[in-house]
Amino acid sequence: MDIKNAQLEVDNWIKEHGVRYFNELTNMAQLTEEVGEVARIIARRYGEQSEKESDKEKDLGEELADVVFVVLCLANQTGIDLQDAFDKKMNKKAKRDHDRHHNNEKLK
């Protein structure tokens, strides 16, 4: 599924199952919470912190999907065509960073 269709799917879900979008500040807080859950899994599963038994069943993919869902909500409610914005960002990064990382001694 492309980003444009994902935005439509989220909007349809909100209309069918939700009452309305939470306001932008609430969704920003929600996004922060979801990113924190991703960070917790990464820090404990791949970092140096020990993973608690209660965290071992957490699904990183599900938590990343929660982040994407809230980002799509924010894009919808602020009128952003995220597909267009993403395409522009990738073009910009491709031009700007074409050789940048290949020439970075720290990455060799």
Question: From first to last of its 108 residues, what are the pLDDT tens digits of the chain?
Answer: 899 999 999 999 999 999 999 999 999 999 999 999 999 999 999 999 898 888 889 999 999 999 999 999 999 999 999 999 999 999 999 988 888 888 888 888
Q: What domains, with CATH codes, occur in the chain? A: 3-80 (1.10.287.1080)
* Helix intervals (H) in the chain: 3-17, 24-45, 60-77, 82-96
pLDDT at 65: 98
pLDDT at 55: 86
Structure tokens at 5: 């269709």
Three-point CA angle 34, 39, 45, nearest 5°: 130
What is the length of the chain? 108
Burial of 36 (0-12, 13-18, 19+ CB in 10 A): exposed
Q: Is the pTM of this model over 0.85?
A: yes
| Residue with tokens 């994407």, as numbered in its chain | 68
